[in-house]
């Protein structure tokens, strides 16, 4: 090149010495060729990228392993019982060989299908609300009761010939319902109190006497409802009232006996007379039990073996005897009685006899020897010739035709809710009364049935199927041609 250095700018003024330049750096080993001034400097060259190498070939698969012969299997073990359902099954180790196969368990025969379960009973209804607290006995006795009725102290007279006007059905039903409520409340109060003295026992006796009088009025009203829709309702109410009165009398006897130290107790009123005392079992047959009434005393003679007819009785514990009479029966005497529908019958006062032990009434039935209960009664259906009635059921139609009436002993069958003669025989008493000789204990009455032609026709099936023509022939032999 010419004398000017290559790095001085062009067009510098001449005559001025240039500043000293630093020493030049050593030239690069391969200096690039000079670029002409007008052309811009080209970009520095980039190193070329290496060309991609081809992917390596995939490795060859390893040769398959040569299988080795399996070791010989041991003999199978004997069958073992199936594992219990409550014990965990053994888990095989992941590195150990699988356990040898075992024999399958013996399958038991399938169980028979279960019987269909019974239908569940309906849910138990909630208990009734608690009853109000009981009144003290003195407050209960001081209440004004609607049973202030005339007392009944004579046997029921024959019903009048003409029909009675029927009372209002609600009145007849309401009377029996009131009697049942009062008697049931009295039973609860006496049971809670336990014992009463003699004076209180007499006041209670008077109240029960009034209940019996109201019950008699209710029964008289029911007889006029025969055939009406209210008859069955009234009879049900009267039956419940009669049962409640009987329970009240027994509770009265028990409370009075405890209050007296189990000594003899005698209570009397217009409609109720009661006798109770405690006896040793061996003394039950030593003497009769006596209860005084307005007519004549009632007596009960027990056999020595009476406790053998009482299931559950203890032959070593004392026994309380309870004998009471009511002026009229507590149960209905209307309608048909033993197939006889006569409305002209008459009946005696009611006699009830019971035995109690430990405060529980004993059930007496099927006694080997009879129990004799005297029932005061005077016949009222004597014919014009003054002939006395026949005692007991006549043997045949001929004997029945000769009787102006028949007097028979009946008892109240509580199971059938009707009067029955089963197990009883009617006997004539030594002094004109009558005796019910029976093998059980309950409520007894004497019925007197008139003996008319109509009554004989009503009872024909009882006389061995005798025909109406035969009865007419017996009554009047002159009609034997008929």
**Residues 278-301: pLDDT tens digits?**
999 999 999 999 999 888 899 999
pLDDT for res 15: 53
Q: In this structure, are residues 389 and 448 in contact, taking their beta carbons and an 8 Å threshold?
A: yes
Note the pTM of the prediction, 2 decimals: 0.63
Reported as a single tens digit per residue, the pLDDT across 100-119 is 666 655 666 666 666 556 66
Strand 390-391 and strand 319-326: the pairing is: unpaired
Q: In this structure, are residues 180 and 211 in contact, taking their beta carbons and an 8 Å threshold?
A: no
Helices 198-223 + 169-193 axis angle, to 10? 160
Tokens, residue 91: 């888990």
Helices 169-193 + 230-259 axis angle, to 10? 20
Min mean pLDDT across 79-83, 185-189, 279-283, 296-300 is at 79-83
Q: In this structure, are residues 446 and 375 in contact, taking their beta carbons and an 8 Å threshold?
A: yes
Query: Dihedral (C-alpha) 187, 189, 195, 200: value to the nearest 10 degrees?
Result: -90
pLDDT for res 150: 43
pLDDT band at residue 1, thresholds of 50, 70 and 90? very low
pLDDT for res 427: 93
């Amino acid at each position: 090149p010419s004398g000017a250095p290559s790095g001085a700018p062009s067009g510098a003024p001449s005559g001025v010495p240039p500043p000293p330049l630093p020493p030049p750096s050593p030239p690069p080993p391969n200096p690039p060729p000079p670029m002409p001034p007008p052309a811009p400097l080209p970009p520095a060259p980039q190193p070329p990228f290496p060309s991609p190498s081809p992917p390596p070939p995939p490795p060859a698969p390893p040769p398959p392993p040569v299988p080795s012969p399996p070791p010989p299997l041991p003999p199978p073990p004997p069958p073992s019982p199936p594992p219990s359902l409550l014990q965990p099954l053994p888990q095989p180790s992941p590195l150990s060989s699988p356990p040898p196969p075992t024999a399958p368990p013996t399958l038991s025969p399938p169980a028979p299908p279960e019987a269909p379960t019974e239908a569940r009973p309906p849910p138990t209804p909630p208990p009734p609300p608690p009853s109000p607290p009981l009144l003290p006995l003195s407050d209960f006795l001081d209440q004004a009761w609607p049973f202030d009725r005339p007392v009944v102290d004579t046997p029921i007279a024959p019903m009048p010939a003409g029909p009675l006007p029927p009372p209002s059905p609600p009145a007849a039903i309401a009377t029996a319902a009131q009697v049942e409520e009062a008697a049931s409340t009295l039973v609860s109060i006496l049971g809670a109190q336990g014992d009463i003295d003699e004076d209180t026992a007499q006041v209670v006796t008077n109240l029960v006497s009034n209940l019996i009088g109201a019950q008699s009025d209710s029964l008289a009203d029911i007889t006029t409802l025969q055939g009406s829709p209210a008859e069955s309702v009234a009879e049900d109410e009267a039956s419940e009232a009669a049962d409640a009165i009987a329970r009240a009398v027994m509770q009265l006897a028990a409370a009075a006996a405890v209050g007296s130290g189990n000594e003899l107790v005698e209570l009397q009123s217009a409609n109720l007379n009661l006798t109770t005392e405690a006896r040793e079992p061996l003394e039950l047959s030593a003497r009769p039990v006596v209860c005084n009434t307005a007519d004549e005393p009632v007596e009960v003679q027990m056999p020595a073996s009476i406790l053998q007819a009482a299931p559950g009785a203890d032959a070593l514990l004392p026994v309380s005897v309870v004998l009471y009479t009511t002026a009229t029966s507590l149960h209905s005497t209307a309608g048909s009685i033993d197939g006889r529908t006569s409305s002209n019958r008459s009946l005696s006062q009611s006699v009830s006899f019971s035995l109690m032990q430990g405060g529980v009434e004993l059930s007496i039935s099927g006694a080997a020897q009879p129990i004799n209960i005297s029932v005061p009664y005077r016949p009222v259906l004597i014919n014009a010739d003054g002939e006395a009635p026949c005692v007991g059921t006549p043997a045949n139609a001929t004997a029945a035709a000769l009787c102006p009436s028949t007097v028979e002993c009946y008892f109240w069958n509580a199971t059938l809710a009707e009067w029955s003669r089963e197990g009883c025989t009617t006997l004539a008493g030594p002094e004109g009364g009558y005796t019910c000789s029976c093998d059980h204990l309950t409520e007894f009455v004497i019925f007197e049935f008139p003996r008319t032609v109509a009554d004989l026709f009503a009872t024909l099936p009882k006389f061995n199927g005798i025909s109406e023509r035969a009865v007419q022939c017996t009554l009047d032999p002159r009609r034997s041609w008929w």
